[in-house]
Amino acid sequence: MRKRSSLALVVFILLALTGTSLYGQGQSQNQPAGSARSRADETLEWWNQIGNKLIAMAKDFPEDKYDFKVQKDERTFAENLLHVAAVDYDLIRRVSESNMGPDFGKDKHNPSREVYKTKTDVVKLIEQAVADGAAVIKQQGDAGLDKTMPFAWETGKHIVHNSYIWITAIEHSTEHFGQLVVYYRANNLVPPESRRDQTQQAQQPSAPRVVELKASDGTLLKASYFAAAKPGPGVLLLHQSNRTRKAWDNLAGQLAAAGINTLTLDMRGFGESGTPYTKLTDAEKAKVSPMWPSDVDTAFQYLVSQPGVKRDVIGVGGAGWFGVLHSVEVARQHSADVKSLVLLSGETLQDGLQFLRQASKLPGLFVVADDHEYPPTVEAMEWLYINSSSPGKKFVHYSAAQDAPWIWYETSDAGKVPARGGHGTDMFKPHPELPGIIVDWLVTTLIKTLSRAPADALASAAILNQLWTSEGVARAKQQLMEARRRDSQVQLWPEVNVDIIGEDHVREGESERKAGRLREAKMQIDTAIEIFKLNLLAYPDSADAHYNLADAYLKNGQKDLARQYAEKALAMIDSHKAPLSSWSDTEQRRAEIRGGVQDTLKELNAAH
């Protein structure tokens, strides 16, 4: 441990601590009266608070300045972060009585920059240390804080409670937080914590802008543009025939806040775009409807032309037959640019269905409710979902005790059929979680994993069902390999579903073994192994998949292979280089699987 370097550093530390304390006091004064939280929860809050400040610095500081230091005998910016992570792990190991975390070599408190060469490496390590410490505090609770052990630090060697060790770690992190503030100031930079309020304000999307778009025949179309605070994807939203663009306002604002530039359009004859459709003569209507496709294209071209919109990363959403029909057509006409679809309560025509059958890389979210006013919309949406060839599709179906009665077709005359709250954007009111589902879908498919959504169990039902047949695993493997030749990242089934199928075979094998039917038991475990190998082929970064295979090999008496996959699983869990699995990465799940892996290795070690 190096000595604290200067009076200036101490002043910064005191300022940091004082500011934090005042903030904490302000919070406590606003809290309702009641019983205090557990001491573990309080410790966890302080651990996460200073840890997250350091993570923010690690992510924010320019990588070309990572080796900056104020004085020759000090650590660089990167070395400070590595040192904090290493000391955290030293103390975490003591408290948890484990070997958690990486091996830093002889100088256990100062990991080498030769190992952690990049900014990404350093950020991952400090994130990993904070997450692992939080997991131990949660897992041990107040009882863990009360345990005692010998401990030597700057105050000398004592028998101390674990709570003392956590306080030491938090104080040590705060000390280095203060030093890194100095590094920021020395480079004329403002630390993230100091500009937090400014950043939050800057990231708020601006108010929507009402725009006029000139259609191909000169007609003016009204639209609202919700600009995100920084460059990103775009989304075009098209309303149903008995609503206007304003039905999308709340969702559009949420999308902009999430970083997605959004345009809502009043179609010709609706809202503020021209004479209301219901007031047109039949002859006038016959002239208006053929213009809708080009009007939508005008809106699409406006959206992709806006500064900050990534023109080749576009999502389209539509409600009712009116919005869905034109949304699918936009995706068909601009298939290279449209990366995601959101379709509510509608249908499309033969060209659209044929396009969906071919668009295997276009993820789609399909939403419908039984209590809509225009049957048979549910069946139409199910047909759309079935025709979509993308493995990354999702069907949200709000069920009711009875289907709605047929009264009339979907119409622009809102008074002809009473609204029931279950059609298109009307679903937002009775189902307030739906806008959040849509935002999450579009953020996932346009930002996080472009043009790709997690595999869906319903979409992969045919593949999952064939795993119960004798040749099912081989066929599923072949299908996966063929799909990967077209898209190297595609997933044809959810990892967890194949886990469940494999575990069913393991349980059946154990039952057969206990009944003395050893031949049948081995057949079940052999099948489970093949299924788990298939899942590992699909999800090679999953520690969970490695553990499942290790456990099955152990039950089959293949100890070397069991050890190989168990050790790999443990290394993956401890490295934090990837989520535990594609479906869960909670601290609780990590602890559960880690414990299972350790039990497997203990059983293997005991057999020697």
Give residue 203's pLDDT.
Answer: 53
Domain ranges of the chain: 7-199, 209-448, 461-606
Q: What is the pLDDT of residue 339?
A: 97
pLDDT for residue 189: 86
Residues in CB range of 229: below 8 A, 6 or more apart: 202, 203, 204, 205, 206, 256, 259
The pTM score is: 0.65
CB 111 within 8 A of CB 104: yes
Is 366 within 8 Å of 384 (Cβ atoms)? yes
Which is it for the CA torsion 438, 441, 442, 448, positive or negative?
positive
Beta bridge mates, 150:
159
Report pLDDT digits (tens) over 195-245: 665 545 545 567 899 999 999 999 999 999 999 999 999 999 999 999 999
pLDDT at 196: 65
Instruction: Provide CB contacts within 8 A for 569, sequence distance 6+.
Output: 543, 544, 546, 547, 550, 593, 597
In the block, residue with structure tokens 């191909």:
216
pLDDT-above-70 percentage for the chain:
91
With CA atoms as reference, report the closest residue to 54 among 168, 188, 191. 191
Q: Give the integer Cα–Cα distance in Å for 339 and 451.
A: 5
Tokens encoding 94: 């003591």
Please tell me the distance from the alpha carbon of residue 84 to that of residue 76, in angstroms, as a whole number.
Answer: 12
For the chain, which ranges sit under pLDDT 70? 1-35, 154-156, 195-205, 414, 608
Distance separating alpha carbons of residues 505 and 552, to the nearest angstrom: 10
How many whole angstroms separate alpha carbon 329 and alpha carbon 314? 14
Sheet of 309-319: strand order equals 209-214, 220-226, 261-265, 232-238, 309-319, 338-344, 364-369, 393-398
Give the pLDDT confidence score for residue 188 in this predicted structure.
84
Structure confidence by residue, pLDDT tens digits, 15-64:
333 333 333 333 333 444 456 889 999 999 999 999 999 999 999 999 98
DSSP structural state of residue 408: S
372-390: buried (b, 16+ CB within 10 Å) or exposed (e) per residue?
bbbeebbebbebbbbbbbb
pLDDT of residue 239: 97
Asked whether the beta carbons of 313 and 446 are under 8 A apart, the reply is yes
Q: Measure Cα distances from 34 to 21, 233, 534 in Å.
A: 21, 46, 52
Closest CA to 109 of 160, 176, 54: 176
Which pairs count as long-range contacts for 524-528, CB under 8 Å and 24+ apart, including other chains?
525/552, 525/555, 525/556, 526/556, 527/473, 528/502, 528/503, 528/552
* Bridge partners, residue 412, by sequence: none
Nearest to 248 by CA among 307, 295, 316, 201: 316
For position 197, what pLDDT does the model report? 54
Q: How far is CA 472 from the centre of its chain?
A: 31
Question: Angle formed by the axes of helices 543-555 and 495-514, to 10°?
Answer: 20
Please name the residue that has the structure tokens 């996460």. 48
Assigned token pair, 337: 């640019």
Write the single-letter amino acid at 492. Answer: L
Q: Across-strand partners of 309?
A: 232
Task: For residue 235, report the phi and psi dihedrals to the nearest 5 degrees.
Answer: -135, 135
Q: Do you find a cis peptide bond into 376, omega within 30 degrees of 0?
A: yes
Q: What is the pLDDT of residue 155?
A: 67
Q: Tell me what pLDDT residue 288 has.
A: 92
**Whole-number pLDDT of residue 556:** 94
Task: Report the CATH number of the 461-606 domain.
Answer: 1.25.40.10
Homologous superfamily in CATH for domain 7-199:
dinb family like domain (1.20.120.450)
Q: Which CATH class is domain 209-448?
A: alpha beta
Between vectors from CA 379 to CA 377 and to CA 385, what angle results, nearest 5°?
105
**C-alpha distances in Å from residue 581, one per residue of 32, 495, 504, 517:** 39, 8, 19, 34
Q: Look up residue 230 and give its DSSP letter.
A: S
